[in-house]
């Protein structure tokens, strides 16, 4: 009987340990989910008080005064955020949605946010998720990615599905302040391959969760071929009702190739400020497979968004 050399046994143990580590490691290209740093709410009553405070803050006058937020790339300057007066819609390629309160359009809405002393808005989508409380949007609609300096999380987010000229047909859904998320590559380095954000919302004043109120919410689709036809939605510029734009896949953004992560993809829609985070629906409109992230100032014929993969959107929304 021959004994196995000690060195061989040590090598076998080391290999087994390495395999165990690899089994626990996230897939290549996966991004860590980060949560806004806020203290956990002490009780259901304090959460209710927080929701009531946010609802009191967002009066019709303050909602009207909110300014559109977007992310742009300008030559070699890199990504930067714009928060300004409603952008002009000349040359834009979107059109009003006639029945925003009817599925599948009803999953889309406007997100009101506070950025320091400023009031802003983005767009977002109610998601078919286990909690029935999930809203998906752009990462730069929940965190500035350090684009303007130190990374900052926003506050007092409120989602209004099918928002139309100040009216909220399904009510308002306030983001839970300790349930706001984005991906680490966006939050830490403004990597727009990962410009995706999400938050869980409290029920509306009828006690409904957001996905149930709007007719079910959109189901996240990921890992699909890039060549899809996208039905995109948002609240751009000076318009006061939901807008839509249909487009096929229009190629990748080559500027995203050097970045870690899947390259972003383009559509032939010229979205104005405020459409950031708006959903890209596919098929019969019940699935979401992208969202509006940014545009190039020197090329306004395209809008770009992150590719929905296991390591991007799935890492963000898993379990929410």
Spell out the domain ranges in the chain. Answer: 33-317
Q: Give residue-wise pLDDT tens across range 22-42.
A: 233 344 457 899 999 866 555
pLDDT of residue 13: 32
Q: What is 70-132 written as a DSSP string?
A: EEEE-GGG-EEEEE-SPPP-TT---EE-S-TTSTTGGGEEEEEEEETTEEEEEEEEEB--TTS
33-317: what fold?
Thrombin, subunit H (2.40.10)
> For residue 15, is pLDDT > 60?
no
Q: How confident is residue 14, by pLDDT bands cut at 50, 70 and 90? A: very low
Residue 9 zone, left/alpha/beta (φ > 0; ψ -120 to 50; rest): alpha
Residue 217 zone, left/alpha/beta (φ > 0; ψ -120 to 50; rest): left
**What pTM did the predictor assign?**
0.88
Q: Give residue-wise pLDDT tens across range 48-88.
A: 899 999 999 999 999 999 999 999 987 766 788 988 775 55
Q: Residue 161: which H helix or E strand, with range?
A: strand 155-161
Q: How confident is residue 93, by pLDDT bands cut at 50, 70 and 90? A: confident
- For residue 104, say if its preceding peptide bond is cis, omega within 30 degrees of 0: yes
CB atoms within 10 A of CB 206: 8
The DSSP letter of residue 188 is H
Q: Residue 185: which H helix or E strand, with range?
A: helix 184-189
pLDDT of residue 29: 55
Q: Give residue-wise pLDDT tens across range 132-180.
A: 999 999 999 999 998 767 899 999 999 999 999 999 999 999 999 899 9
């Amino acid at each position: 009987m021959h004994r196995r050399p000690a060195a061989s046994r040590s090598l076998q143990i080391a290999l087994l340990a390495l395999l165990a580590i690899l089994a626990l490691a996230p897939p290549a290209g996966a991004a860590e989910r980060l949560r806004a740093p806020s203290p956990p709410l002490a009780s259901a009553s304090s959460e209710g008080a927080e929701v009531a405070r946010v609802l009191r803050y967002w009066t019709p006058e303050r909602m009207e005064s909110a300014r559109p937020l977007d992310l742009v790339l300008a030559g070699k300057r890199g990504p930067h955020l714009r928060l300004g007066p409603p952008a002009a819609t000349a040359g834009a390629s979107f059109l009003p949605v006639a029945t925003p309160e009817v599925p599948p359009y009803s999953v889309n809405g406007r997100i009101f946010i506070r950025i320091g002393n400023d009031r802003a808005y983005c767009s977002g989508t109610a998601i078919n998720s286990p909690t029935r409380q999930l809203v998906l949007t752009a990462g730069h609609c929940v965190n500035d990615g350090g684009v303007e300096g130190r990374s900052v999380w926003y506050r007092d987010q409120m989602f209004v599905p099918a928002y139309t000229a100040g009216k909220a047909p399904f009510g308002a859904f306030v983001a839970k302040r300790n349930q706001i998320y984005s991906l680490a590559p966006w939050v830490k380095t403004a990597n727009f391959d990962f410009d995706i954000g999400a938050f869980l919302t409290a029920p509306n004043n009828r006690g409904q969760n957001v996905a149930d109120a709007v007719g079910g919410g959109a189901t996240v689709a990921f890992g699909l071929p890039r060549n899809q036809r996208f039905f995109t939605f948002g609240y751009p510029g000076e318009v006061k009702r939901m807008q839509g734009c249909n487009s096929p896949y229009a190629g990748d953004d080559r500027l995203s190739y050097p970045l870690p992560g899947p390259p972003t993809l383009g559509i032939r829609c010229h979205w104005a400020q405020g459409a950031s985070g708006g959903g890209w629906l596919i098929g019969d409109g019940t699935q979401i497979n992208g969202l509006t992230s940014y545009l190039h100032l020197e090329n306004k014929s395209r809008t770009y968004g992150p590719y929905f993969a296991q390591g991007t959107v799935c890492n963000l929304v898993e379990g929410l």
